[in-house]
Amino acid sequence: MQEKKVVSIEERIPKLKEARKKKANRRLVFYLTIFFLLILIIIYLQSPLSNVKHVAISGTELLKEEFVKDKSGITTKDNIWSIDFEEIEKKIKALPEVKNVSVTKKLPSTVKIEVEEFIRVGYVKKKESFYPVLENGQALTDKAIPVPKGDAPILIGWNDSTYLTEMTKELRSLHSELAALISEIHWIPESSNPYKLRLYMVNGREVLTSIRNFSEKMRAYPSIAMQIEPDQEGYINLDLGAYFVPYDSDEKINEDKSADESTIEVEGESVNEGER
């Protein structure tokens, strides 16, 4: 039987001391590392290294990026850790073009501003200028342009904000391919029908319809337009039903006569519909 080797206490003490020394050294290195990291963090937070160096703005079309940056109030003197992001979001969201906004930081020194704008659904014509109209019915009267871009219909005769708001909701629901076919939308209210519209399409075709259920009624336009010969003169009626009316028909003559004789009330003004 093999005898077990007996290790004396004198032999074990140096090994225990060495193990304890290594453990103490590891603990010291750990604490020193934490200490120096804290020092570096304090230096970073108190130095220009933590200042904003870049403001990245995305999602803008109606607004210019530089304008959004100025509105945010962020400068290169601001510490990225002391910025009140909620306050900046409130400032930018107060702009009439802005539907939603998100402001976040991207280390080490970038602030990201992601903007969601209201969709432009048309241009309101007033005198010789055009003003963008957003999906919420807001007309940007401080952004007059001499010529619209052609990316949305021109709205003519809209001097009542209530009807304009209802119209913009319908345009927002209208399929983009159908909206691209419309050149002008004239509001031609009558005493018996304040929702009446006359549309001029990009191909020159005329359409009569209504603000009410406009987006739904316009779905019938492509199928009717395909059945009309290019040289056939007339208009498509989508107000009561969906059909083509030649210009020399009795319906057209009666409509013109009614338009010349009718007078409507819009916001207290008496307007002859034949002048629209």
Statement to judge: residues 70 and 101 lie in one domain? yes
Statement to judge: residues 100 and 129 lie in one domain? no
Domain range holding 83?
Answer: 50-117
Q: Which residues are paired to 155 by β-bridges?
A: 124, 185
Statement to judge: residues 72 and 147 lie in one domain? no
Least confident of 9-13, 228-232, 268-272: 268-272
CA atoms of 88 and 130, how far apart (whole Å): 31
pLDDT tens by residue, 181-211: 999 999 999 999 999 999 999 999 999 999 9
Mean pLDDT, range 46-56, rounded to an integer:
84
pLDDT given for residue 271 in this prediction: 35
Mean pLDDT, range 47-71, rounded to an integer:
90
113, containing H or E segment = strand 110-117
Statement to judge: residues 206 and 130 lie in one domain? yes
CA atoms of 34 and 41, how far apart (whole Å): 10
What's the pTM?
Answer: 0.69
pLDDT given for residue 255 in this prediction: 57
Q: Cα 228 to the chain's mean position, in Å?
A: 37
pLDDT given for residue 32 in this prediction: 83
Q: Considering the domain boundaries, does residue 139 fall inside one?
A: yes
Statement to judge: residues 254 and 174 lie in one domain? yes
pLDDT given for residue 26 in this prediction: 82
Least confident of 22-36, 55-69, 71-85, 157-171: 22-36
User: Looking at residue 268, which CATH number applies to its domain?
Assistant: 3.40.50.10960
Q: How many structural domains compose the chain?
A: 2
- Backbone dihedral angles phi then psi of residue 45, each to the nearest 5 degrees: -70, -30
Work out the number of other CB atoms within 10 angstroms of the CB of residue 198.
Answer: 18
Q: Nearest to residue 112, comparing CAs of 56, 195, 65?
A: 56
pLDDT given for residue 12 in this prediction: 59
Q: Considering the domain boundaries, does residue 34 fall inside one?
A: no
User: Looking at residue 109, which CATH number applies to its domain?
Assistant: 3.10.20.310
Is the predicted pLDDT of residue 260 greater than 70, yes or no?
no
Statement to judge: residues 54 and 109 lie in one domain? yes
Statement to judge: residues 185 and 236 lie in one domain? yes
Statement to judge: residues 169 and 110 lie in one domain? no
* DSSP secondary structure letter of residue 136: T
Q: Considering the domain boundaries, does residue 11 fall inside one?
A: no
Looking at 101, 117, 133, which one is the last position of a domain? 117
Statement to judge: residues 92 and 214 lie in one domain? no
